[in-house]
């Protein structure tokens, strides 16, 4: 393997590393966004449960309008 081949391989590896770094950074941003969204949804659901307006009828329970 001569110097040119090594330089090409190094350039390719550096490009791959940069691409993977960009991908990991984008995924980290997406995870942060989704985590914040889940936290907001859980908080909203906790508030709804605290108010007693869950709205889910289970089994033979009568709906609130009866």
Backbone φ and ψ of 39, nearest 5°: -60, -45
Q: How large a percentage of the chain has pLDDT more than 90? A: 68
Largest CA distance in the chain: 85
pLDDT of residue 51: 85
- The reply to whether the predicted model has a pTM over 0.75 is no
Q: Distance between CA atoms of 51 and 66, rounded to whole angstroms?
A: 20
pLDDT of residue 36: 97
Q: Distance between CA atoms of 22 and 20, rounded to whole angstroms?
A: 5
Q: Distance between CA atoms of 19 and 64, rounded to whole angstroms?
A: 56
pLDDT category at 66 given cuts 50, 70, 90 is: low
Q: How large a percentage of the chain has pLDDT more than 70? A: 80
pLDDT digits (tens, 9 = 90+) for 23-40: 999 999 999 999 999 999
In this structure, what token pair is assigned to residue 26?
Answer: 């984008």
- Domain ranges in the chain are 22-46
């Amino acid at each position: 393997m001569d110097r040119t081949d090594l330089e090409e391989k190094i350039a390719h590896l550096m490009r791959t590393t940069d691409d993977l770094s960009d991908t990991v950074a984008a995924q980290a941003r997406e995870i942060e966004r989704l985590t914040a969204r889940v936290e907001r949804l859980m908080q909203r659901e906790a508030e709804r449960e605290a108010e007693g307006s869950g709205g889910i009828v289970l089994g033979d329970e009568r709906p609130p309008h009866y």
